[in-house]
């Protein structure tokens, strides 16, 4: 029997029509939350995501659309969600990436990555957190990255955005640390910093590494070759692994866990 500890709570997960975000939305739904999802996709993909969260156990689930590059669109989305139900849990997961050396990075890519990966989180947080403070309970979990803790070449805007969201989260944690109490659960802000996560987007890279190893190589050989450069565990996390940590951070007993960044990176950042 799942622990429905989020019954009567409402959560928003951005970037939740697939991958890590969808796993988090499903986990929150299984814990009893009413879930707002937001993200790109065809009508069929969005319906599939809604059904997945509903089938996981969400009391109610709706899709709210917004271009996260535009503050006005974010404000409209947050107002629509507030009319539906005040937010208790905010998971900023939406993100994009483009790899190129700094000198070759298109300026528009820099602007878009910073807008979606960092500025959109600022806007959702500034609109959601005062209501959380008034209610004495709130959870903001920002899905950063191992690249919010260490850098890699050819990823300047992505790394800048993820370092930025770690810093933003620390400031918000300080500002809201005294809100609520142990009984209400308080208001906390934390980052989860995944390394390699097994999603459909990674499969082409695995296939390429496997092909380079020869005809006898297995998919696991391809995974180990891909991760060997960075992640000592040589195994990926699953989206559900990330969701499990997000869920724990939502629990009342996590009231004093705030301003932290949690790497799930197979010892990448321990090196």
pLDDT at 202: 85
**253 and 159 fall within a common domain:** yes
- What is the b/e burial string over 31-65, where b = at least 16 CB atoms within 10 angstroms of the residue's CB? bbbbbbbbbebeeeebeebbebbeebbbbebbbbe
Is 139 inside any structural domain? yes
Is 111 inside any structural domain? yes
In tens digits, the chain (271 residues) has pLDDT values of: 679 999 999 999 999 999 999 999 999 999 999 999 999 999 999 999 999 999 999 999 999 999 999 999 999 999 999 999 999 999 999 999 999 999 999 999 999 999 999 999 999 999 999 999 999 999 999 999 999 999 999 999 999 999 999 999 999 999 999 999 999 999 999 999 999 999 887 888 899 899 999 888 899 999 999 999 899 999 999 999 999 999 999 999 999 999 999 999 999 999 9
Is 5 inside any structural domain? no
**47 and 68 fall within a common domain:** yes
Is 178 inside any structural domain? yes
Is 59 inside any structural domain? yes
Catalytic site residues? 158
**229 and 103 fall within a common domain:** no
Is 165 inside any structural domain? yes
**242 and 212 fall within a common domain:** no
pLDDT at 91: 98
**107 and 223 fall within a common domain:** no
Distance CA 138, CA 126 (A): 13
Is 2 inside any structural domain? no
**181 and 222 fall within a common domain:** no
Cα 246 to chain centroid, rounded: 9
Q: How many domains does the chain have?
A: 2
Residue 228's domain comprises 200-236
pTM of the model: 0.96
**160 and 134 fall within a common domain:** yes
**35 and 83 fall within a common domain:** yes
Kindly state the tokens that stand for 90: 């905010």
């Amino acid at each position: 029997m799942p622990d429905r500890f989020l019954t009567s709570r409402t959560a928003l997960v951005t970037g939740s029509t697939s991958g890590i975000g969808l796993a988090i939305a499903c986990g929150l739904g299984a814990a009893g939350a009413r879930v707002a999802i937001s993200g790109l996709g065809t009508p069929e993909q969005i319906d599939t995501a809604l059904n997945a969260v509903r089938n996981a156990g969400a009391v109610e689930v709706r899709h709210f659309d917004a271009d996260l590059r535009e503050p006005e669109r974010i404000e409209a989305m947050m107002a629509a969600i507030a009319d539906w139900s005040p937010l208790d849990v905010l998971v900023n997961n939406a993100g994009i990436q483009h790899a190129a050396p700094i000198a070759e990075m298109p300026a528009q890519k820099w602007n878009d990555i910073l807008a979606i990966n960092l500025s959109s989180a600022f806007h959702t947080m500034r609109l959601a957190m005062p209501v959380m403070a008034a209610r004495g309970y709130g959870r903001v979990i920002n899905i950063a990255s191992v690249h919010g803790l260490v850098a890699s070449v050819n990823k300047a805007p992505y790394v800048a955005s993820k370092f930025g969201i770690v810093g933003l989260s620390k400031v918000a944690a300080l500002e809201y640390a005294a809100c609520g109490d142990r009984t209400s659960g308080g208001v906390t802000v934390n980052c989860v910093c995944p390394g390699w996560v097994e999603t459909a987007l990674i499969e082409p890279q695995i296939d390429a590494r496997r092909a380079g190893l020869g005809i006898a190589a297995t998919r696991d050989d391809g995974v180990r070759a891909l991760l060997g450069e960075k992640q000592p565990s040589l195994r990926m996390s699953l989206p559900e692994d990330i969701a499990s940590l997000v869920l724990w951070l939502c629990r009342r007993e996590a009231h004093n866990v705030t301003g932290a960044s949690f790497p799930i990176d197979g010892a990448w950042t321990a090196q």
